Structure 1
């Protein structure tokens, strides 16, 4: 008894969760209730047409038995009318439910994408791009099946079954009760299969994400794969991901393939019992020959819609599993924009005893940071990789939240300002340049700057020395750059990113290894442009090259998340400390 109760407590939450997920999915249908109702009416007409087919057969048999051939005109016209009715109902139902389904998917897909644009940086650190793309493509299509095909089958076949059962009750309620006695057994089989299919569907969706991730990484890094002989390893990784997907899918096919014949066997048992008992006088009652034939025909016609109704279990379970993964994204907390004030001007920026650890970790990557960034001055962050330089720079645009201590702008807490107004005051050029598959002009005048004039874009391009290579391109500044600027060199991509920052003309500039991808000649040109764009702006520079560091007003040396030295270039050289050693090493290298 106790084990039964334990089993119920374990199984019911999963069933309830699945039902809650599906109900939440159906909420998207609510604004389209009128079209949904039209679909229901269309399938109701189709189901009535099925029942009328059985009635028509009864009339034909009785007419032939009575030799009443004068009815042939009516019966001939009736069969045409029934088929026209069924066809019209099927068209109305199919078209309407398809419209509802695609509208639901469009809304759901755009909501998920909009949510992804608002999620904090640490979410992307724990999710691969392949997994997220699989959610927007494969998983959304699985939801389409659950919303469109499943409901279409449910309406069309469900109403057909209801119409045929109603007609069977009308003919002989005793025989109908015998037929539906197999219902509980069918329900048990469907329930057991549903649980299994939902679990397998989750695994399939995860495996699709693994396939997308493996393929995406190999395609993007094809040069590294080929140079370092990684083709065999990548082939093996992709093959394993695809093989895992195949195995999970075949397990689902086995469950589906066993589910259908078992249910058909139960229906056949019900039909055989029906035929055996129908010959008994007490059961047969006063049914006519036509009525008896029509009853058996209706019972036979029910088997196909019943089979299709059981097939929707797998579709719904796949849709529920897919919807769960999408709702997981929609339920993820977005960036916290608790600020209520608009940042209109930039004064001094100050870090006071600031500590920071990434969410889900205990290790502090920034410890007791105390630093002042005077308005209009440049501050260079120097240190080994992993010393906390990039993390520190990421706090200014609030890509990461959750620090302790204070981070002040104009003497006010940074988090008191709205994210939009804060980020509108910041330009960013980082080491991993992000370009979009558009033209050079579109990449310079990106986002809020999309309305910039071509004159302003060309001026920014000139300042960043973009025009040097643009003049040699066939379409000039309107040349397309390919996915992530694949058609350009690393130095050319970097210059476009610098031109983008110049065009924005923001009072705060963050340069994270902004000249790392440039050759020496390009760097000399860009250094002049950067000095111009840095003038009068509060600039935070992360760099290793002396040419960038030496001219900074303040140099901050970091180690293991702490500031160990700070001062001007000459002051730090006099201290003969960590910066001095770094400077000697860089000088020898260069």
Structure 2
């Protein structure tokens, strides 16, 4: 968005965002009604005080008036407490719904969004920006409404009581306006910059802390200290700017209010002495004046928070307007017995930088297709297109005679098992990781069967907690081989009809590689398998091998055929033998 577009982002956009999550309007209305009744009680109290002062002597207080006054205070307390709770409840439930909507949308965004945005920046939108909106809804907005009622009601009563004294208060209006308008603009600008700086720091911190082992192994602490402190310093400087503005604003506002109070107090005292104003009227006038001064002091905070909420709303709306992955389609398909075909597929991440150029291959049912070739040639991109993380720029990918882009996305992915060289696991238990993505609960017997097929049963049973063992963030408490076998067991339990293996043994030591390869051989039985491989035994046994170099298929056939007809493949095999 341009600066001009930012300045045009209005309260109606904020209201539209809030309405989009169906807030509990009836409860909000009740909460506002009770809060308004609280404001009404605060308007009655000065009148009761006036009557009490004017009708009572020092030794003989009007008990009936005291009782009514006490009742008004109690009503103000009860209505205020219940109204405040209801408004807070509505605010909290609305933000819960907004976060759920935003979270669901983030999960539905395509991989391309995450390629271009740091996860910490996105989580800042989900947590920090929604918190800003929550604070506005649950605290500042109700206070603004009730304060506004108090202010308007008090002004009306004051003009009815004594228009001359009430007119004195308007001396402060030009002063307050001159203060609020320029300072409000400054606070708006600083608020936006502060939120952006905070999101950037959150993004950087999340990324760096997730790779803390790389930082430590590379002696990168000193560099990261400087980098982190630079971002922290930027937030600090913006925070100080904000503090300076508020530090100037609050005393000026208080001075203006205090000056107004002194003027009214002096003028009122003269009127009481001259007999044109009773003591009770004077006390009531001062109480109403407090009813005006207190909300005016909070209005500056409200408008500052409103500007921050506008910035937060703007970023959330931008996220929600991003297109999601292909919507669910009615067409579902059973891929059993159907070949996978890629026909003249080309793809690029960046214009004029092709990754794949007219790639074609076919994988028959229960066959093993291997992709080999130099690193960076485009092999993993083939898998990404098959998973539908991206759409081809040209060409078609089919299962049988059906384009995979016409198949319901969930239906397509649930029939694929994917094991990469760094298979992802989540913090949690082994049981939770084995069942991840399944829509039904597996029995312990089924889980142990999956672990057995993946040659993982033995090491899991060696843990004191077994299936309930916590494996830590990204599986840090497991070795590389153990983590791979958990991923393979998960693939077994998923029972996929298409299996994709992306160098699943590349980063393992020889002992772990042997165990994982045995597990993979088990998993590949009676499934259509696509393999990106460096292990010679897998390549030799494949039904067909495709050599991909610089985004093109430069040769295909079985192992013996390629050895005779493809010089680069022959060289590749020789390198594997030497290793």
**Deviation per residue, 1:365-419 (Å, 9 max, x gap):** 1111122222221111112222111111111121112531111111221111110
1:479 aligns with 2:472: no
- What residue in structure 2 maps to residue 23 of structure 1? 15
Structure-2 residue corresponding to 1:497: 487
Alignment partner of 1:212 is 2:202: yes
Match of 2:237 in 1: 247
- Which piece of structure 1 moves more, 564-573 or 377-386? 377-386
Give the structure 1 partner of residue 570 of structure 2: 580
State yes or no: 1:354 paired with 2:337. Answer: no
CA deviation vs aligned residue, 1:205-264 (integer Å, no higher than 9, x gap): 232233333333343333322222111111222222222111112212222222333334
- Cα offset, 1:493, TM superposition: 0.4
The equivalent of 2:295 in structure 1 is: 305
Name the CA shift for 1:504/1:26 in 2 (closer, same or farther; >3 Å): closer
Query: What secondary structure does 2:546 align onto?
Result: strand
Distance across 2 between alignment mates of 1:285 and 1:24: 55
Alpha-carbon distance between aligned partners in 2 of 1:529 and 1:296, rounded to the nearest angstrom:
84
Match in the other structure for 1:7? none
Residues 49 and 69, structure 2, Cα contact 8 Å, conserved in 1: no
The residue aligned with 1:134 is 124
C-alpha contact (below 8 Å) 1:154/1:312 kept by paired residues: yes
The 1-side partners of 2:382 and 2:174 are apart by 64
Contact 1:50 1:163 in 2 (8 A): no
Distance 1:389 1:285 in 2: 96
**1:158 corresponds to:** 148
Specify which of 25, 29, 39 is matched with residue 33 of structure 1: 25
Q: Matched residues in 2 for 1:233 and 1:12: separation?
A: 37
CA contact (8 A) 1:380 1:554 kept: yes
Q: 1:471 to 1:124 in 2, by over 3 A?
A: same
Aligned partner of 1:526 among 516, 520, 524: 516
Shift of 1:275: 6.5
Kindly indicate whether the alpha-carbon contact (under 8 Å) linking 2:268 and 2:277 is maintained by their aligned counterparts in 1: no
Deviation at 1:144, TM superposition (A): 1.2
5+ long unaligned stretches in structure 2:
none
Partner of 1:3: none
How has the CA–CA distance of structure 1 residues 71 and 16 changed in structure 2, closer, same or farther, with 3 Å as cutoff? farther
Residue in 1 that maps onto 2:397: 407
Q: Please name the residue that 1:542 is paired with.
A: 532
Q: 1:261 to 1:11 in 2, by over 3 A?
A: farther
Gap change, CA 1:188 and 1:377, over 3 Å in 2 = farther
Give me the whole-angstrom Cα distance separating, in 2, the residues matched to 1:11 and 1:78. Answer: 56
Mapping 1:191-210, distance limit 5 Å:
191-210=181-200
* Separation (CA, whole Å) in 2 of partners of 1:219 and 1:461: 31
1:297 CA drift (Å): 3.7
SS of the residue aligned with 1:141? helix
Q: Counterpart in 2 of 1:56?
A: 48
The root-mean-square deviation of aligned C-alpha atoms, in Å, is 2.7
3-state SS, counterpart of residue 492 of structure 2: helix
How far is 1:71 from its partner? 5.3
Aligned equivalents of 2:3, 2:472: Cα separation in 1: 51
* SS in structure 1 at match of 2:353: coil
The answer to whether structure 1 residue 290 and structure 2 residue 271 are counterparts is: no
**How many residues end up aligned between the 2 structures?**
575
| Correspondence 1:388-537 to 2 at 5 A | 388-448=378-438, 450-537=440-527
Instruction: Give distance in 1, aligned partners of 2:344 and 2:268.
Output: 89
Q: Deviations over 1:34-59 (max 9, x none)?
A: 21122212221221222223213322
Whether the 8 Å CA contact 1:354–1:369 is kept in 2: the answer is yes
Q: How far does the alpha carbon of each residue in 1:112-161 deviate from its partner, in whole angstroms, 9 at most, with x for none?
A: 11111111001111111211222222222212111111122113322221
SS at match of 1:366: strand
Q: Which moved more, 1:457-466 or 1:323-332?
A: 323-332
| CA deviation vs aligned residue, 1:85-122 (integer Å, no higher than 9, x gap) | 22112202211111111101111111111111111001
**Structure 2 CA distance for aligned equivalents of residues 321 and 12 of structure 1:** 13
Instruction: Please list every run of 5 or more consecutive structure 1 residues that lacks an aligned counterpart in the other structure.
Output: 1-9
Distance 2:375 2:242 in 1: 47
CA shift in 2, pair 1:26/1:225, >3 Å: closer
Counterpart-to-counterpart distance in 2, 1:323 and 1:145: 13
